[in-house]
Amino acid sequence: MPDQKQMYDKGKVVAGLVIFVVLITFPFWYNHLKAAPAPQLELTKKAQAAKNCVRSKDYMKAEHMQLLDVWRESVVRNGERVYVNEEGKEFNMSLTNTCLDCHSNKAEFCDRCHNYASVNPYCWDCHIDNPKEKK
């Protein structure tokens, strides 16, 4: 009479489990169990001088992608191209010509944080990221 509690193929099961655990925790091993330091973003002189962005700093930090999504929907599909913020200040809703006009340092501003968060937005496949430089 075989023992009911016996585990069949014990060796294989345990080996499989070990491999599974190692694989699933791979990202932690890969980063040597250390969290990467949060990036320091640099503001251009123009951005510093402006003091305020389109919306508050906290809002922009957390929600700039939603804001841009609303902008693109509004500009492309509804032909409404002007954004009026809470203070009544008007902005041309343009990633290239408004956002990047101040934040002209894409590498130190956009990319740093995007790389840290490991997100890869492809806005710049189409929207020109260096409006002031020729080509």
Where on the chain is the footprint of other proteins (CB under 8 A)?
55, 62-63, 66-67, 70-72, 74, 76-86, 88, 92-93, 96-97, 122, 125-128, 131-132, 134-135
Nearer to other proteins, 21 or 65 (CB): 65
* CA–CA distance, 47 with 32 (Å, rounded to integer): 36
Nearer to other proteins, 5 or 134 (CB): 134
Residues 6+ apart with CB under 8 A from 63: 55
3-state class (DSSP) for residue 9: coil
3-state class (DSSP) for residue 45: helix
Closest approach of other proteins to the CB of residue 77, in Å: 6
Closest approach of other proteins to the CB of residue 64, in Å: 11
